[in-house]
Amino acid sequence: MAARFQDKVVCVTGASAGIGEAAARRFAGEGAKVVLSARGAERLEAVVASIRAAGGTAHGVIADVGVDADAQRLLDETVATFGGLDVLVNNAGLHHRGPVLDRSAAELADMVHVNLRAPVLLTRLALPLLQARGGGRVVQVASLAGRVPTPGGATYSATKFGLRAFSFALADELAGTGITISVVSPGPVDTGFIMGDVDEVSDLTFSQPISTAAQVADAVLACAHDGKRERTLPPTSRLLTTAAYVLPGLGRALRPALERKGRRVKARLRKG
């Protein structure tokens, strides 16, 4: 495949594992200068070193996107290192799972800060940098939980709905400017995010086909290339979540059967 991102400067949050790592590796493989960010130094530095060893151009920034000063420093360091910004991928996210009453107020606020406030802030900070290049791309990693309300993950679901709403509205505000805002909405993905402790994850989540981090990374790069508004993985889940959103009664009626399917998948995964 031709290098779609030759010499483009790409900043990926949450790039030391999972989807962000896979996307960062692919961007570097297509010629981009990649800034990778995460909180933990050891894993981040290992990924940066491995991209460089493969001939790619990469720089690591240890930053917690939930901290405003870190978000600003991440973009400042991107510009200082590679001279500008062409693509921002807001991928870092977390999920304190369980019913709202079982989670502390601090945990709920943490999800709002990292999954919604941080990408809004980073996008706002990135816009003048993208304008200075005459255009650019922002890609937000949301979730199927941002397409259909998800009990057991009410706040997580709210942050991903909010991220999609922000992104679609901003995309309209920016029409004709050369700056696009895209959303990638995956179902379950085979990363530590859900595979680390299968029992903690809702049955509903596992009712949908599991994508690989590489498949989601492909969707991220496709959006960073063509600026399409949204890509949903897998395509069958797009139809299901659209139907459940438009007809919420149907969504609730289907849920018990989907949860039974998810429990069977979890049982298989437990057996390995």
Q: Which residues are at the interface with ligand NAP (CB under 6 A)? A: 13-20, 37-40, 64-66, 91-94, 114, 141, 143, 186, 188-189, 191-194
Shortest reach from residue 144's CB to ligand NAP, in Å: 7
Shortest reach from residue 2's CB to ligand NAP, in Å: 27
- Residue 147's φ and ψ, nearest 5 degrees, are -115, -20
Spot the catalytic one: 156, 161, 193, 206.
Answer: 156
| Length of the chain (residues) | 272
Among 81, 168, 157, which Cα is nearest to 123's? 168
Shortest reach from residue 258's CB to ligand NAP, in Å: 16
Shortest reach from residue 176's CB to ligand NAP, in Å: 29
Shortest reach from residue 122's CB to ligand NAP, in Å: 10
Nearer to ligand NAP, 17 or 254 (CB): 17
The question of whether 245 is a catalytic residue gets the answer no
Nearer to ligand NAP, 94 or 222 (CB): 94
Nearer to ligand NAP, 64 or 86 (CB): 64
Nearer to ligand NAP, 186 or 227 (CB): 186
Nearer to ligand NAP, 94 or 243 (CB): 94
The residues assigned a catalytic role are 156
